[in-house]
Amino acid sequence: MKINNNVFINYFDSISCAGNNPEEMFESICQKKDTICIDSSYVKDKDVAIGKVSIKKDLNDILLERIENLLLNTNLKDFKNTLLVIGSSVGGMNETERLFFKNKNYKKINPKKHSIDAISYFLKQKYKFYDDVSFSTACTSSANALGYAKEVILKGIYKNVLVIGIDSLSYTTVCGFSALSVLSSKPCTPFDKNREGMNVSEGFGILLLQNIKEENSIELCGVGYSSDAHHMTQPHPDGIGAKKAMQNALNDASLTIDDIGYINAHGTGTYANDFSELNAINSLFVNKKPKVSSTKSVTGHSLGAAGAIEAIISSMVLQKQTIPANKGLNEIQIEGINYSIETTSSNVNYVLSNSFAFGGNNVSLIFGLTK
């Protein structure tokens, strides 16, 4: 039996190093603003480029304020009939670190404030949700959360799903990526021949998905998953898993490569990711070459929050009919890609957004204008 429910994004909000709200973030991306800072406090004897939010508050406190704004500006008065879906790779790890470094021991650490579902635990202290689910699949966490939201709305299980992708800066993650030798000491330059690595960042993306269409709704049309399981931390160099995820998303949306007007690439600025993703795009988009850019040179890589934040960017591309530039792309290494070097106005009906993670965990999402 074919289910005919559609899934619509009816509200979104965000904070990142690129801006304190979606409008600021999109403007920073389009204007190729310098938003990444150099920091020497996270990795011993090493400068790394990271993305910090400008508001000097705990990220969870900012999140609470934004949830209040959501209730004031949507058709929801409460969350009693809403499923909460969290995507995070850090969870409450930064809270644990803060207490450990302060007290020099673990005795005052609350396990409920450490785990991946620490965000939902925190929110449930103030709000009553129908239920909650937390995803932690590294850099695909909130992309998987969005895919799950689409599935439960399509099946008629829920009418309202609140998806939040969130990650704070953590010593554990920054030092972990440093140990892998993939951090850059300058703002990252995805797809550029002279790339140095990635920029870990913090932030969140909030999206309200519903089964009803509103005036400015964006439709979540397709979701594609794959797992190439090539290596613990590196994707398959030919992009086998990435290609499969994109094709699965097209199939799910009943679209072809000719329908996609823009690809928001995962584009972390690491050698392994750049080659794998671009090879996958070249392999799949043979005749039709949509514009491609990575926005992480401005937003940084917010890990588990990246899928949600880039879902918002993709939605704004559709709403504004504007394709953002790929900042820092000065010397192309892989040909055959229709890189977005400068921000341009363009007729775009569908956007494909990629999120790829350790272990070959891949998610592609397709967003479209409502008809």
Instruction: Report the SS3 class of residue 311.
Output: helix
* Selected catalytic residue, list 17, 30, 139, 221: 139
If 0-12 CB within 10 Å is exposed, 13-18 middle and 19+ buried, where does residue 45 land?
A: exposed
CA dihedral (284, 271, 145, 23) positive or negative: negative
- The reply to whether 37 belongs to the active site is no
* Selected catalytic residue, list 17, 30, 236, 301: 301
Residues 6+ apart with CB under 8 A from 195: 184, 188, 189, 269, 270, 271, 274
Residues 6+ apart with CB under 8 A from 258: 287, 288
- The reply to whether 114 belongs to the active site is no
- How far is residue 304's CA from residue 357's CA, in Å, rounded to a whole number? 9
360 secondary structure, DSSP code? G
Length of the chain: 371
Angle among Cα 10, 16, 17 to the nearest 5 degrees reads 155
- How far is residue 327's CA from residue 324's CA, in Å, rounded to a whole number? 9
Residue 257 burial (CB count, 10 A): 17
DSSP codes of every residue in 89-122: SSTTHHHHHHHHHHHSSSTT--GGGTSTTHHHHH
If 0-12 CB within 10 Å is exposed, 13-18 middle and 19+ buried, where does residue 350 land?
A: buried
* Residues 134, 356 contacting (CB under 8 angstroms): no
Q: Which amino acid is at 12?
A: F
Residue 103: φ, ψ to 5°: -100, -10
* Residues 293, 323 contacting (CB under 8 angstroms): yes
> Mind telling me the catalytic residues?
139, 266, 301
